[in-house]
Each structure stands twice: as structure tokens, then as C-alpha cells.
Structure 1
Amino acid sequence: MSHAPAAPSRTAVLLVDDHQMVIEGLKTLLKADAAVRVVAQASSGLEALRRLREHPGIEVALVDLNMPQMSGVELTRHIRAAFPAVRVLALSMFHDHASVMEVLAAGGAGYLLKNTTKAELSAAIANVAAGRTHFSQEVGQTLLQHLDVPDQRPNAAPVAELTAREREILRLVAEENTNQDIARALFISERTVETHRKNILTKTSCKSVIGLIQYAIKHKLLA
């Protein structure tokens, strides 16, 4: 007896924005995406946390940064603390350096502008759901423009000493390449790439790719 192939899993998404028109617009953009399923929506941070409790299968929360009572950055912190498996994708009209770094520090996995296209929105959700990061092009340019800002605190910890190969791999990781992509680009094995990644995390005392990107930007390791 033959069995029909199982339908591919769809990424469960929560939409959070205090403007209903924005939510409806996002739902329209995602409606044709067979890989995404919008399972809940919320108009405030508190409502978003309730929705996450009600729908434990949510994988990605698309969060507006500019909301009353609880900002998107505050909500991101709460989500990462209470629902660590949920990946947060920030959505904003602005991409100033301070805002982007706040999102990263809060544990956000990506940052999109509200003028994003349907294709980029789908790609961003797929990337963060897979454990990668995603930044709109303008956001990435904002981060790159601040790579030359040194840490001027008198008691700042010394910068990790990375080898040339480790710096190369760090750059490729920051560009959202997978281990397979990096191995192919550098003509080395995936196991070697994984070993280098672990060494980089150990040397920098970072616990995640997001933390590593923050560290790299802060200490100009991507230059």
C-alpha cells in the first residue's frame, strides 16, 4: 500500500505590530509563501507573549520595533528569555546604528526594513528559522560603516587574537554562509570549518553567531 509523501513543514510565524494595516500587509505578502504559516498576530508586546504561550510551535516572531508600552527591543529580550527557541526578526522604518545594535544585544536574529520586498521577507524568515541571521542591505551597510569605531573604555577586555584563517572564516560566517558554503569557498572540509568556528567562539567567549557578529563589529574583526 503506497503512502502519499508527507507535506513539507511550514515555518510557524507570529506577526507583532500595533498597526493593523501593517499586519494585514505582511499577511498578504506571506499568503503565497508555501513555506510559511502565520499562526498568530498581536498588536502589543504583552499580547505577543500571550500568543507565544498559546502557540508553542511558533518558530519566528516578526516584531515591530516602535510600539507603545513595550518596545520591540524589550519584547525581544522577553521572548529570548522565556521562549529561547523562538527566533526574532525585527521590523522597522529606521536602520540607525544604535537601533540595530540594540536589537542584536537583545538577541534578535535579523533586522528588516518596512519597505522590504515579498522575496526578501520570505528569505529572511527562512534564514532565521534555519538558525542564520538576516539583515536588509541598508542595515548591513549601516553596520559596516561603523566597523572603524574603536572601544575606548579604559578597562575594555583585550581583543581575541585570531589567525588569518579564523578571520577569513569569521567574515564568511558574518555573511551568513553555511559550513558547507565556507568549506567549498576555502577548499577545506566541513569538519575543519566546524573546528575553526568552535575555536573562534572559544577565543571570543561568544556563545552564538549573533554574539560573534556583535563582537566582530565591536572589535573591527571583519575589516
Structure 2
Amino acid sequence: MEQVVTDDICVLLVDDHRLVLEGVRTLLRPNGGVRVIATATSGPEALAQLRAHPGIGVALVDLHMPIMPGIELIGHIREQFPRVRVLALSMAYDVASVQEVLAAGGVGYLLKNLLGPELVTAIRRVAAGNTYFSPEVASLLLDQLPRQAQPANVQAARLTPRETEILQLIAREKSNLDIADQLNISERTVETHRKNIFTKTGCKSAVGLVQYALREKLIVL
């Protein structure tokens, strides 16, 4: 299949309701630089579209779908198409759902009541390597921070500039190998920094680091 060469951010929309697909497509249509090139109404169809359109950079995935739930689809995308950035799309949110999205490999969580400008901002942010959460979701994450385990600020945690840089990359779901390649250091060095970061911040998981980085404004909402 011939692929279209474009500098736009190419987007895949996944939702089992065609009305939602058309609504999101309409929101994105007037925005230059972001282009919907494929849609899917199920997980298997979404994976087929990703194989057919290797230029897709961002996928918007509804969490509540039959056949293959959105969380499962996000995991498959992360394994099979690691360069694709996945934004979860849902009507509702809770801490457990957000944590599941992040653990599966998602880089953001959007609510379906969002407006066009926010959607475009979210797509552009994640395409640039950042995370993005709807304001309500970000507030939920911040409210759920275990206060006794989180220092008041980065200075209190005594993170070095290099540790802060690596924390940002971990929070963006970068692997040790990705971080080593980006920073031109060894994986062993990355692992040492990772252990120090978890110790200093008191975080127990990558999800905790995302929460910490959000609160300390080390990653962009």
C-alpha cells in the first residue's frame, strides 16, 4: 500500500462508536499539522490499521470497547509499535484506570468532554515526547500523592541535574536502553541513576514517578 509522505502528526482514532470517531475527526479537521489518517472500531482493526499506516505517530484509544478492551490494546501497541504514542480517551476516570493506562504504556489520559484546542495540544505534546492529562485527571493524580513518601520539591529530594533529566525520561515511559541512547551513557549507569531516583523520591513505581514529576512540574501537562 502506498504511503502518503507528510510532515503532519498522523493520528489513528479508535472507538467502537462511529459517532464518536466522526466527532473527534471533526474537532481535528480545521487544525493544521494534525491529520487523522485512519480510524478503527475495535482493537484488532486498530492493530491492522497501524500495520497498514506506519506513519501513524499518535493513537487515541477508547478504554471501553468490546472484543479487546482499550488497556489491552494499549499494551499491544506498546509491544508491536513502540514509536506510537497512545492517549487514552474515556468518559470517566479514577486513579486505578489512570494507573492501568500508564502501566500498559499510555502517555496520557483525556476525557471525552474536551474541546478541540485541548485535543490538538494533547496530540502535539505527546508527539513531542511529553505526557498529557486532562486537567481533572492531573488534579486527581496530584491529590492522590502519598504525602509521607514525596519530598516537598526536587531540591529537598537532592536530585542531581542528571537524575532529574532521567526522572523526566522514566516518567515518559522511556526504557533504560532508550535513555542510554539519548543521553549517550551506558545502561548500567542509567540503572544506577534509576535506583538512586527511586530511593531519593520515595516512589515505588513508574506511576509514582509520573505523579511526582507532575507535582514538581518536571513534565508538561
Structure 2 residue identity aligned to 1:216 = L
2:209 to 211, 216, 220: 216
Unaligned runs of 5+ in 1: 1-6, 152-160, 177-190, 192-197, 206-210
User: Could you tell me how far apart the structure 1 residues matched to 2:16 and 2:119 are?
Assistant: 19
Runs of 4+ in 1 over 4 A off after TM superposition: 217-223
Instruction: Tell me the percent identity.
Output: 50
Return the offset for 1:201. Answer: 3.7
User: Could you tell me how far apart the structure 2 residues matched to 1:217 and 1:123 are?
Assistant: 19
Q: Partner residue of 1:93? A: 91
Q: Partner residue of 1:70? A: 68
Contact 2:71 2:100 in 1 (8 A): yes
Indicate the SS of the match to 1:112: strand
User: Could you tell me how far apart the structure 1 residues matched to 2:214 and 2:25 are?
Assistant: 38
1:110 to 86, 90, 108: 108
Distance 1:54 1:96, change over 3 A: same
User: Could you tell me how far apart the structure 2 residues matched to 1:25 and 1:123 are?
Assistant: 17
Q: Partner residue of 2:158? A: 163
Q: Partner residue of 2:125? A: 127
Unaligned runs of 5+ in 2: 150-155, 172-182, 184-189, 199-203, 217-221
Contact 1:150 1:218 in 2 (8 A): no
Q: Normalised by the size of structure 2, how large is the TM-score? A: 0.71
Contact 1:15 1:63 in 2 (8 A): yes
Return the offset for 1:37. Answer: 1.1
User: Could you tell me how far apart the structure 2 residues matched to 1:218 and 1:48 are?
Assistant: 29
Return the offset for 1:45. Answer: 0.3
Q: What is the aligned-residue RMSD (CA, Å)?
A: 3.3
User: Could you tell me how far apart the structure 2 residues matched to 1:38 and 1:213 are?
Assistant: 30
Contact 2:159 2:197 in 1 (8 A): no
The 5 Å alignment of 1:1-223 reads 9-148=7-146, 162-163=157-158, 169=164, 173=168, 201=194, 203-204=196-197, 214-216=207-209, 222=215
Return the offset for 1:202. Answer: 5.4
Larger radius of gyration: 1
Indicate the SS of the match to 1:12: strand
Return the offset for 1:163. Answer: 1.1
Q: How many residues align?
A: 181
User: Could you tell me how far apart the structure 2 residues matched to 1:134 and 1:18 are?
Assistant: 23
Deviations 1:66-118 (A, max 9, x none): 10111111000000000001000000011111100000000101110000111
Structure 2 residue identity aligned to 1:128 = V
Distance 1:148 1:43, change over 3 A: same
